[in-house]
Structure 1
Amino acid sequence: MQFPRVLSVLSLFFAFAFIFASASPVAETEVSVAKRQEAEVVTILTTLHTQTLADAAAIQAAALLNPSEDSISPLFDTLVAHINEATTAINALEPSAKRQSSDDIAALVALIFTDLTTTLDGLLVQLSGVPNIGVLFSGLDVALNQLLKGLEGLLAGVLNLVATLLVNVAALLRNLALGLTLASLGL
């Protein structure tokens, strides 16, 4: 007599236990994490591109107006600060265990480097009379190198893609004495 009651209670228990067990939240998949992370990197780099274009334009304008260390140095400091901010933001992201497609990111990094080096290379003659211009370019080199290292730590293989895209810009990087950046890219 007790058996049917026990059986019905047990079947009810297992039915509700199954519902609660299957209603557990689904963990975010690696693919969605990777896509979100890639979107964050693109946002960071797009902001950096906008900032570096403005910084390079400001350096170009100052170089055309009788450049001096007092006028050029703060502009380089701002440029380096923007690159360092982007590097810090990229380093704050968690690397994904799954390798991500980084073609778009590599193209964006190559665009940033191309725009920046093209503008600055065109100013070498005007900036040659500025005392300590080598120190300013050295600081820029260190900042760009740290950005590349941060990207490589986050997206394995991205430097190879960037290097491939920057083969034609390697001469400009050499002209600007950006040796650390060249070494990181293997150019």
Structure 2
Amino acid sequence: EEGMDRLMGLSGGRILGMMAQEGWEVIPQDAPRGLFEIRLPSVRYELPGACVSIPAPVFQATVRDSTPGEGAYKERLTGDLVLMNGEDILAVEIGFPFKTEFSISAAGWCRSTIGWEGAQVRMSNQIEIGVQIPKVPGLSGIMQVFVKNYGTESTQQCVEALARGADRLKP
């Protein structure tokens, strides 16, 4: 619990840096105003009958302090992320009825809130993504599964990284 208190006492930019995974780059644009660029590694996501890949996505991030509030749960910060390189960012390979590849452009926005309760990190994400999907049987379902799984796994990885960061902070 002490490690979590120390972690949440850091600046928003430092917390963002602690959340970064291997291969991430967090580049301050105007740290005092909470502006950062986040570069993530490329992704290749295998699904039954399909594969979705993304070259390194780039996000503009704005991080703001939150008001902790009353009770056991304390919210620490809110961050907005906007996808900056969405044109033709998704490559989708479908193996049925014949091998076909599509490039799909996307616009994306995410609002994350980070807080803690006792020794536990809490994070919630509201994700909005817009894509124009070609009318190909099964493609819409593939994209829904990809977006849901990718968002869920990314959130879990960020929470785990914050917990490890709290454990590494010295008293």
Based on CA coordinates, which of the two structures has the bigger radius of gyration?
Answer: 1
Which fold has the larger relative contact order, with Cα–Cα distance below 8 Å and residues 6 or more apart in sequence? 1
- More helix per residue: 1
Task: Provide TM-score, normalisation by structure 2.
Answer: 0.30
Task: Provide TM-score, normalisation by structure 1.
Answer: 0.29
